[in-house]
Amino acid sequence: MTTWKDLDFDTDGIIDGLKPWIECESPTWDATAVDRMMDLVAMKCAELGATVERIPGVMGLGGSVRARFPHPKMGEPGIMITGHFDTVHPVGTLAKNPFRREGGKVYGPGIQDMKGGNYITLEAIRKIQEAGIETPLPIVALFTPDEEIGTPATRQLIETEAKRAKYVLCPEPAHPDNGVCTGRYAIARFNLAAEGKPSHAGANVKGGISAVRELAKRIIEIEEMTSEDCTFSCNNIHSGQWVNCVPSFASAECLSMAKEQADLDAGIERMLALTGERNGVRFAVTRGVTRPVWEPGLEGTMFLYEKARAISEELGFDMPHRSQGGGSDANFTGALGIPSLCSLGVKGDGLHTLNEHIDEDFIVPRTRMMAGMLTTLA
């Protein structure tokens, strides 16, 4: 009887298949680019015999792909794969980090976070089908376009699908030690806005009140609120275009992360309390999207972890687990109490940088481990 241990995965073939995905750049804010990527995904799923739905995007973002793979129990609670195809890399990043193989590594924007993990999941399904193995549970994959900005458009879609599932597997990047996530920290985002008084910066600089100056001071103060319990980081700073104007408006965003929900709630209170006027500048803090804590150690999650660990050990690799920062869409499914396991994707380094890459040696073991999960979970 053929099992997951007998499946014949090929590193070169997987890398070749990944190439067009990586070279289809798909930054979150470029809906057209993301939709081009989703076309490739929909085609791949259709080739595997899935019933494919293209779900239109909202909020100016790209659309989603939901694929239900053929199974006698289709429609019953089974395994949900949750993944995203948006990246943080703007179109043109390929010129700086082109798709290539060098020194046992495969490079390219989004290859680790998380196109590689999504691809090996579908490759696992392909090999399972070719071997004639019937998985104990039906499989549905939901691929979304907005994880990198906190999943503002598709959270409800993910949660609705997850409530139909028995288990959720998320092929986000593996940890450097081959580990997986059995919990995720809570995350909150904030919009910062400063409003000062304009004037001509050359003729009457003292007549204005700089919103940029005040925002800069506030950013330093906010980031200095960082502690072991709750962190704060600011970016995406904007102001006017004209250096000969004292800036009357400036904006930024802040991301806060905490291991415990209570610590994040306290951080949210501190942030919102900063709203007010100081030095003649009106300063406003408003809430953005929030990811809830996925509490570590939940019984269903640990069941999934033990399955994955046992499979990985059969392959000759230790697999530790931990609660982790960074956030993923498993925050939502785990917070709902649905057995979830994250970081089941490819191993590499440099995610969100121009050095993003995956390790060739771990492509097949990670693909085989996913196949093992899909064929043994019941």
Question: What per-residue confidence (pLDDT) applies to 188?
Answer: 97
> In whole angstroms, what is the distance from residue 225 CA to residue 231 CA?
7
**pLDDT in the model for residue 100:** 98
Q: Which tokens belong to 265?
A: 């709630």
CA R_g for the chain: 23
The pLDDT tens digits along the chain (378 residues) read 899 999 999 999 999 999 999 999 999 999 999 999 999 999 999 999 999 999 999 999 999 999 999 999 999 999 999 999 999 999 999 999 999 999 999 999 999 999 999 999 999 999 999 999 999 999 999 999 999 999 999 999 999 999 999 999 999 999 999 999 999 999 999 999 999 999 999 999 999 999 999 999 999 999 999 999 999 999 999 999 999 999 999 999 999 999 999 999 999 999 999 999 999 999 999 999 999 999 999 999 999 999 999 999 999 999 999 999 989 999 999 999 999 999 999 999 999 999 999 999 999 999 999 999 999 999
pLDDT for 197 equals 97
| Cβ 139 vs Cβ 75: under 8 Å | no
Q: Locate all alpha helices (DSSP H) within 131-249, ordered by sequence.
A: 155-162, 211-223
Work out the percent of the chain whose per-residue pLDDT is above 70: 100
Tell me the pTM.
0.95
Note the pLDDT of residue 1.
86
Which residues contact residue 215 at a Cβ distance below 8 angstroms, ignoring those fewer than 6 apart?
A: 192, 194, 237, 239, 250, 251, 252, 283
First to last CA, the chain: 18
202, 120 contact by CB (below 8 A): no
Q: How many Å apart are CA 145 and CA 141, to the nearest integer?
A: 13
What letter does residue 166 receive in the DSSP assignment? S
